[in-house]
């Protein structure tokens, strides 16, 4: 799944989470720091990666019962910075499906790369489906 990173989306995200770093808001500050456009905050990864993860979670073959789903956590490893105008492509794999005490555990891995083929973020998205 590909997401084109818009300058205004970066600004909206930064403002929504209270991030006042000028690199995320001000083009001139980004230029002065040597970037070609504003820089996305690290957790902007949720914006470009989550649609691909959600597609995997909703895949009937995965078998998640959403009425009992609990988000268990996320872990990210960041690489190259995400800059306004980047095209980020995210692929998702099911890394683990297991059961403990009747609960289902589902871990998805997302790998997001920019147009230059550089990995910008790898994520592990953990979910628990509570026993009926």
Measure CA 39 to chain center. 15
8 — pLDDT class (breaks 50, 70, 90): very high
| Other residues' Cβ atoms within 10 Å of the Cβ of residue 58 | 10
Model-wide pTM > 0.85: yes
For the segment 39-52, the average pLDDT, to the nearest whole number, is 96
Whether 62 has a pLDDT exceeding 90, the answer reads no
User: Is the separation of the CB atoms in 112 and 49 below 8 Å?
Assistant: yes
SS (H, E, C) 19-75: CCCHHHHCHHHHHHCCCCCCECCHHHHHHHHHHHHHHHHCCCCCCCCHHHEEEEEEE
Give the domains, in start order, of the chain with CATH numbers. Answer: 2-129 (3.10.129.10)
pLDDT tens digits for range 72-94? 999 999 999 999 999 999 999 99
**What stretch of H or E contains 91?**
strand 87-100
Whether 28 has a pLDDT exceeding 90, the answer reads yes
Tokens of 115: 């147009």
Q: List 11's β-bridge partners, or say none.
A: none
Region of poorest pLDDT, from 59-63, 88-92, 106-110: 59-63
Q: What percent of the chain has pLDDT over 90?
A: 85
């Amino acid at each position: 799944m590909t997401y084109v990173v818009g300058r205004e989306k970066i600004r909206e995200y930064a403002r929504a989470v209270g991030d006042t770093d000028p690199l995320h808001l001000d083009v001139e500050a980004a230029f002065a720091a040597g970037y070609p456009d504003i820089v996305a905050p690290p957790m902007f990864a949720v914006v470009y990666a989550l649609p691909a993860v959600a597609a995997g979670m909703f895949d009937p073959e995965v078998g998640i019962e959403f009425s009992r789903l609990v988000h268990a956590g996320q872990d990210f490893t960041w690489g190259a910075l995400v800059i306004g105008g980047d095209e980020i492509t995210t692929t998702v794999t099911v890394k683990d499906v297991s059961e403990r005490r009747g609960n289902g555990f589902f871990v998805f891995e997302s790998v997001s790369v920019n147009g230059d083929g550089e990995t910008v973020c790898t994520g592990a998205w953990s979910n628990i489906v509570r026993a009926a």
